[in-house]
C-alpha cells in the first residue's frame, strides 16, 4: 500500500526557515512526480509546488516562488520542502501528494496523500 508520511512542521517566527520532509513507501518513488499542497486553518486546498520524478521539472505557486524550494532524494524515498522567509500567511497544514506520472500532470489526479504536518508562523 502506498503511503506518505510528512514531518518537520512546527512553530516559527516570521522570517524564519523550516524544512519539511515526506517519506514515501509502498511504491517506486522515483517514477512519480510529487507535490506539496497546503491548507490554512478553516480554508481550502492550495497547491504549493511540484517536482518531477527525476527532479528535472519544478514548478511553484506564485505565493511561494523565491522563498520555498522543493527537492527530492530518490535514494531515500524522501521529498523535501525548504521554506525560507516565512510569513504569517504560510501558516497551514502541509500535505505531500503523489502524482500519477513521472512528470507533473493533471491526468490521474493526486492519488496518494500524507496526513500532513502543521506549520505555524507567529511572533
Partner 1 sequence: QSVLTQPPSVSAAPGQKVTISCSGSSSDIGNNYVSWYQQLPGTAPKLLIYDNNERPSGIPDRFSGSKSGTSATLAITGLQAGDEADYYCGTCDTSLSAGHWVFGGGTKLTVL
Residue 2 CB, nearest approach to partner 1 (Å): 11
Can you say how many angstroms the Cα of residue 18 is from the centroid of all Cα atoms in its chain? 12
Q: Is there binding between residue 102 and partner 1 (CB under 8 A)? A: no
Burial track 73-105 (b if 16+ CB lie within 10 A, e otherwise): eeeebbbbbebeebeeebbbbbbbbbbeebebe
Using CB under 8 A, which of 24, 33, 64, 70 touches partner 1? 33
> Which string of x and - marks every residue 55-74 that binds partner 1 (by CB under 8 A)?
--x-x-x-------------
Residue 50 CB, nearest approach to partner 1 (Å): 4
Q: What is the DSSP string of 33-50?
A: -EEEEEE-TT--EEEEEE
Residues of the shown chain interacting with partner 1 in the complex, contacts defined by CB under 8 A: 33, 35, 37, 44-47, 50, 52, 57, 59, 61, 95, 97, 99-100, 103-116
Amino acid at each position: 500500500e502506498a503511503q506518505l508520511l510528512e514531518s518537520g512542521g512546527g512553530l516559527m517566527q516570521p522570517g524564519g526557515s523550516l524544512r519539511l520532509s515526506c517519506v514515501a513507501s509502498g511504491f517506486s518513488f522515483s517514477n512519480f512526480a510529487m507535490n506539496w499542497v497546503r491548507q490554512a486553518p478553516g480554508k481550502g486546498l492550495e497547491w504549493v509546488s511540484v517536482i518531477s520524478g527525476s527532479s528535472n521539472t519544478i514548478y511553484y505557486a506564485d505565493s511561494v516562488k523565491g522563498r520555498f524550494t522543493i527537492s527530492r532524494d530518490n535514494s531515500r524515498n524522501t521529498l523535501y520542502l525548504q521554506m525560507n522567509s516565512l510569513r504569517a500567511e504560510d501558516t497551514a497544514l502541509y500535505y505531500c501528494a503523489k502524482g500519477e506520472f513521472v512528470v507533473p500532470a493533471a491526468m490521474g489526479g493526486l492519488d496518494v496523500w500524507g496526513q500532513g504536518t502543521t506549520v505555524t508562523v507567529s511572533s
